A and B are shown apart, each in its own frame.
Chain A
């Protein structure tokens, strides 16, 4: 079994455990009110004031086609050079983890269960735990997303990074 060390922020949208690389995440805070912007993609919820800055808010659930449920948080992260707030359900943990890759058949099963688009995810992991100098599987599995996936290619073509 090959063991990887990954610094990840793990969160939940509609019961699906997902992860972003810590280096892409600035901070997490409870969601605040959003002003809708006309003529944007459906998953672009609008603009919100976050710690004195105005940020675009992307609905992580709508973008990944997962039904969000319950409480909402903003994950403020770097998306193609911009600082963007992504709406999620709740943060789970953020730390340096020991993980192993999930078997592809297992990944397919997870994707099929939640009807997810495989193109949106860069990897699938399972958290490992060390006990008596041996690594054991915890059964906690999640899908890793590259933050660039939060905007569509059409939107990305309009991004000018100063």
Chain B
């Protein structure tokens, strides 16, 4: 092996491991979509990346193996060879060989303990511009002592400049800190990528049909957490395949689709990043778990009457507990779930479990975050600036007065979609104030988890930019709709909203009105419009109303 810079070598290893993971995920999809040329090209590209990098570092073994698989894929691309299960299995075995080579202890030795973080170029540019600002600040601060001694100008001017410099320094350090913290954040998709292959292999071994769906892998966590959750998540997913999802025959007998589904998802909930593993399998019986826990002496008999279902389900995390009727080489050795819980706890995370017998099980890993970087739209509501992460909204819109109606949305023509219209101010504060002289209401369009559309009226749109969302005290982040805080460029704080959590508490509220989701003038003049007109008569009062 050629001796190379450990940083370059580490970058090679990271990139190759990522390429192997993406290769595995593509192969799983390709198996059920053999003619998909995009997937074949993507597999080819991943192999080509590994080969190119290995060749650059004179890693002949890896280069040769990747080259052989690449040739096979090239023949498929050019139509000389037809892709079938045998050729896919062949590429899988190449992947296994590559993985072994990349995890070779000699390789690990070569990189010693160098850890590398990828940082976007734009962030480095931001750091450079902040350093320039710091230099200018230092220059202006050098003049301060003389000003404060009254040598140049009066002391009050010096004090004013000192305060100005302090506030500027505060903003610069805050931005620098946020970029540095943000650089450590990586999407949880980095770990999600490895699971399609695991699920495929296990399902095959157990003669089960299981699809792994990734809903959203974009939530970001500290790199060290994302790396550390790989093992506990693998354990939970193996459990879901082995004990959760039933055999195709059993599923059919229960009236379920033969193919089971395991869904991975990630999202932000208040000041927590949540990773969710959900299966549509047989679910867990709290009473059976309780019985087994008592049998194994994990709980004292007699205590069972006082336990809730969720407490009973929580017993699976007790040391030595296993509900497996048969101990298998896949999971259910009686150790594991307690280790999963303690590993997650070590990362300051929590594990939550929900299960319905016959329907499935959902396990959530919940991690507090210190900062999250997200593109946000800033909006004003009652003169307060709020930040809405773009990931939580579809788009910003303007609703003309005439588009509002209060009649039942069922009366719409086919093809038209109605949006329930709420005032974001009312949802947040319980008050609703109509701004004077407005012909169109600015709003953000949001799609609820159940697929229905909602428009949230705001007072005014402001800028859109990438923001660093800081966590806030839990008694503030526990208020529905509040995710954290953002320090704006002017040094002031905006509240970062969590639209999902706000809507959770909104389900029972009656919308102010409905609007059609397309450019369309609705002819109906409604009571609501009159109400809005009346409200405009009030000059500075706050209109506090709810339609009922």
Residues on A close to B: CB < 8 A?
30, 32-40, 44, 46-49, 51-56, 82, 84, 151, 155-156, 158-160, 162
Contacts and interface: CB of A to CB of B under 8 A. Distances in A.
Interface of B: 163, 167, 170-171, 173-174, 177-178, 348, 368, 384-385, 428-430, 470, 472-476, 478-480, 482, 484-485, 487, 491-495
B429 A54 contact: no
A46 B473 CA distance: 11
Q: What are the nearest 8 A-B pairs in CB distance?
A: A52-B174, A54-B485, A155-B475, A38-B429, A158-B475, A35-B493, A160-B474, A49-B487
B116 to A, nearest CB: 26
B170 A38 contact: no
Contact of B173 (A51, A82, A151, A159): A51
Nearest to A151: B475
Given A38-B479, A49-B170, 6 more contacts: A35-B494, A39-B428, A49-B493, A82-B474, A84-B473, A162-B348
A134 B243 CA distance: 79
Given A36-B384, A47-B493, A160-B368, A52 B487 contact: yes
| Chain B residues touching A, majority SS | mixed
Nearest to B480: A39
Of A44, A48, A52, A84, chain B has the most CB atoms within 10 Å of the CB of A52
A159 B474 contact: yes
B348 A52 contact: no
A40 B476 contact: yes
A37 B495 CA distance: 8
Contacts of B167: 32
A36 to B, nearest CB: 6
B323 to A, nearest CB: 30
Given A35-B384, A39-B428, A54-B487, A48 B493 contact: yes
Contacts of B177: 52
Nearest to A34: B493
Contacts of B178: 52
Contacts of B474: 82, 158-160
A151 B385 CA distance: 26
A122 to B, nearest CB: 22
A77 B313 CA distance: 40
Given A47-B493, A49-B493, A51-B173, A37 B479 contact: yes
B473 A56 contact: yes
Of A36, A40, A162, chain B has the most CB atoms within 10 Å of the CB of A162
Of A34, A44, A49, A151, chain B has the most CB atoms within 10 Å of the CB of A49
B318 to A, nearest CB: 23
Contacts of A34: 493
B94 to A, nearest CB: 44
A37 B476 contact: yes
A62 to B, nearest CB: 16
A66 to B, nearest CB: 22
5 contacts: A35-B494, A36-B384, A46-B493, A158-B478, A159-B475
A47 B348 contact: no
Given A52-B173, A151-B475, A158-B474, A39 B429 contact: yes
B492 A33 contact: yes
Nearest to A152: B475
Nearest to B429: A38
A48 B479 CA distance: 17
Nearest to B350: A160
B472 A56 contact: yes
Of B384, B428, B482, B493, chain A has the most CB atoms within 10 Å of the CB of B493
Nearest to B272: A160
A47 B485 contact: yes
A44 B476 CA distance: 9
B470 A54 contact: yes
B126 to A, nearest CB: 15
A82 B479 CA distance: 17
B482 A159 contact: no
B478 A32 contact: no
Contact of A52 (B170, B429, B430, B494): B170
A39 B426 CA distance: 11
Nearest to B486: A54
A131 B244 CA distance: 80
A49 B492 contact: yes
A54 B485 CA distance: 7
A35 B387 CA distance: 13
Contacts of A38: 428-430, 479
Contact of B174 (A39, A47, A49, A156): A49
Contacts of B478: 158
